[in-house]
Structure 1
C-alpha cells in the first residue's frame, strides 16, 4: 500500500528531478526517499522515473502518476483543514430544521446523520409541516432552515435557497405489466391501462389531475393520497403511475418489484432544496447545515452572508 508520506516523497523527487534535491525539500534521508520511490514503482508495476547521471526525469507513466498524486494530496490537505477548522471552532447550541411530510422520509436521515457526526454538540429540533406553514415559521424566525419543494417558494425574495436534488418524472410499472416491454411511454399508452394517481397538492403543481383526466378515462383512474398504496398497486400489476424519481423504490412493502420507464410528455422536474430567511444574519449552526447539505448532495449555496 502506498502511504501519504511516500506520495510526498514522490512529488518532491518529481519537482526537484533528483533524489538529493528531494531530500533537502522534505528534510529526510536519501535512503528513505529512494526506498519510497522503489516501493511505489513495485506497487504500480511500472517505471515512473528514468535515472541518469544528472538526476531523474519522469516517464510518461510517471507524469500520469504525478497528476493523480497531486490531486490526492490536495484532497488530503482539504480533508485535514476541514477537520481542523471544525475542531478549532466547534458548534454548539440548537438548530430548528423544518421539513415537509412528503420529503421527510427521503431527505431528513442523510442530513441529520452527517450533521450529527460533524456537530455532535448541536441539538436539532425537527419541525414537520406543510410548505406554507414552514414559510411562516421561517419568516418569523421560529425555524432556522427548511427542506422544501422549491416551487413552493417561487417568486419570493424573502428566502435564500440551495438546490439539493432535481428529480425527473418516470412511469412506474411492475415487470409483468403489459407496458413494461416498452422503453418510453406516452399518454396514448397509459390511456389503455389503469393509472394510479397520487393526490398530493405539491406534486399537483407539476402534474394536475385535470391534465391526467384529459388523457385517462375516470373508470381507469385510481386516486390515492398514500405513497405506499401507489407502490403496492403498481407492484401488483393493478396499474401504473407517473411520479418523480425521489419517491421511487425498487420494492413494495410486500416485496413485489417495481420498475420505471421514460415518459414522453414534458413534466417539469421537481426541485428539492434548503431554504432560509434572507436579510438576516445566518447563524453558525445554520451555516453548518448549509455546508452539510451541500456535501451530502454535492451542491453549493449561491449566496453571500
Structure 2
C-alpha cells in the first residue's frame, strides 16, 4: 500500500476512526466490528483505510482468516485506547460540572424486571432525573460484562463479581439457585443421590450464563457429568420446560418456592448454588454523573434487601461452594 501521494491537509484523524480501529483490532473481522459499531461493513473498511492513509502506516494484515494487526498497529492500538479513554474522561468531567444530569443511560438486565425492581428504578429515575433517558436491554451476566467492555451498555445487573479491577460492583442481595424438576418426577427426584441426579435430563444455558457454570462445578467436583438435553438462555423458558416435564434445572429461589407451592415443580433437597445480585459498571466511569445518579437510586431501592446469610445456614445440605 502506498501512502506517499496522500494530501494530509485534507483529512485528520477522527474519533470514529479510532473507535473503528479498536473494534476491528478486538473483533478480528470487519463483519464483527460492523455489528459491534452498528455501521455497515463498507463503512468499517473505509474508516480503517482513511486512518491508515492519514497515519501513513498499514495497521492490519488482511487474510481469509480475518484482520491481524501489523507490528505498527500493535503499538498504536494502546495509544488509540488512551486517546478514547481521555475523551471519555473529558465527557465524564463535563457532566459532573453541570448542575443537571442528562443523557441516555443504557442498562442491561440479566433476569426478569420484577426481581430487579425495574419499575421502581424507572419511577425514581424519572422523578429525580427527568432529563435522563433510560434504555433497557435483556441479556445474561457473561454477555453483560462483554457489553460493558465494548461500550455497548453503561451499566448492568449481574449475578457474579468478575474482574473487580476493571469494574465497580454494588451488591444488592443474596439468594440461592435451587435444583428443581417436574412435579410428576417427585419420587425420582426426592430419592435421587448425586449420580441419579446427573443422569436425569438437564435443561441448561449457554456458557455466558456464569451462575450455571457454578452449578456444573458442583457435579464436576464429584467427578460427574450432567446429561444436558436442552439449551435455553431465558429463565422463563427454562421454568416452562421444567413444568412441561422436559428435565431438571437450576431455578432462582423465589421462583422455585412459588412453583413448589403451586405444585408445578419439586425440589431436590441435596444442594443449591448460593448467589449474589450486583449492579456493575466500568471502574473508569465511576465518577460519571449518569452512573452516580443510577447507583444512588439503585442503592435506595435495594436498601431493604435481606442481609446476606452464609449459605450453610439456610441450605438443608451442602451447597456448590461447600466441601463435598
SS in 1 for 2:215: coil
- 1:276 to 2:281 alignment: yes
Q: Which residue number corresponds to residue 242 of structure 1?
A: 250
Q: Which residue number corresponds to residue 136 of structure 1?
A: 149
Q: Which residue number corresponds to residue 174 of structure 2?
A: 166
1:180-205 per-residue CA deviation (whole Å, 9 max, x = no partner) reads 995x975245256x333222322343
1:35-71 per-residue CA deviation (whole Å, 9 max, x = no partner) reads xxxxxxxxxxxxxxxxxxxxxxxxxxxxxxxxxxxxx
Alpha-carbon distance, 1:224 to partner: 2.0
Q: Which residue number corresponds to residue 149 of structure 1?
A: 159
| Contact 1:198-1:227 within 8 A present in 2 as well | no
Uncovered stretches (5+) of structure 2, i.e. residues with no partner = 1-97, 306-324
- 1:124 to 2:134 alignment: yes
Alpha-carbon distance, 1:162 to partner: 0.2
Following the alignment from structure 2 to structure 1, what is the Cα–Cα distance between the partners of residues 277 and 271?
21
Question: What is the aligned-residue RMSD (CA, Å)?
Answer: 4.1
SS in 1 for 2:214: coil
| Contact 1:196-1:223 within 8 A present in 2 as well | yes
- 1:195 to 2:201 alignment: yes
Q: Which residue number corresponds to residue 50 of structure 1?
A: none
Following the alignment from structure 1 to structure 2, what is the Cα–Cα distance between the partners of residues 296 and 110?
7
Following the alignment from structure 2 to structure 1, what is the Cα–Cα distance between the partners of residues 193 and 103?
49
- Relative distance call for 1:241 and 1:164 in structure 2 (3 A) is same
- 1:227 to 2:235 alignment: yes
Bigger Cα Rg:
1
| Contact 2:183-2:263 within 8 A present in 1 as well | yes
Following the alignment from structure 1 to structure 2, what is the Cα–Cα distance between the partners of residues 118 and 260?
44
- Relative distance call for 1:262 and 1:165 in structure 2 (3 A) is farther
SS in 2 for 1:207: helix
Q: Which residue number corresponds to residue 291 of structure 2?
A: 286
Alpha-carbon distance, 1:249 to partner: 7.8
SS in 2 for 1:97: strand
Alpha-carbon distance, 1:273 to partner: 1.0
Alpha-carbon distance, 1:170 to partner: 0.8
SS in 2 for 1:211: helix
- Relative distance call for 1:278 and 1:251 in structure 2 (3 A) is same
- Relative distance call for 1:196 and 1:250 in structure 2 (3 A) is farther
Uncovered stretches (5+) of structure 1, i.e. residues with no partner = 1-88, 301-305
> What does residue range 1-305 of structure 1 map to in structure 2 within 5 Å?
91-100=100-109, 102=111, 106-107=115-116, 108-126=118-136, 130-137=143-150, 143-151=153-161, 153-154=162-163, 156-179=164-187, 182=190, 186-188=193-195, 190-191=197-198, 194-201=200-207, 202=209, 203-208=211-216, 211=219, 215=224, 218=227, 221-225=228-232, 226-245=234-253, 248=256, 250=258, 257-259=263-265, 261=267, 263-265=269-271, 267=273, 269-280=274-285, 282-298=287-303
Size of the alignment, in residue pairs?
199
SS in 2 for 1:134: helix
- Relative distance call for 1:106 and 1:134 in structure 2 (3 A) is farther
- Relative distance call for 1:250 and 1:114 in structure 2 (3 A) is farther
1:77-114 per-residue CA deviation (whole Å, 9 max, x = no partner) reads xxxxxxxxxxxx98541242331555667424442243
- Relative distance call for 1:247 and 1:272 in structure 2 (3 A) is farther
Following the alignment from structure 2 to structure 1, what is the Cα–Cα distance between the partners of residues 247 and 179?
11
- Relative distance call for 1:180 and 1:161 in structure 2 (3 A) is same
Following the alignment from structure 1 to structure 2, what is the Cα–Cα distance between the partners of residues 248 and 111?
25
| Contact 1:171-1:261 within 8 A present in 2 as well | yes
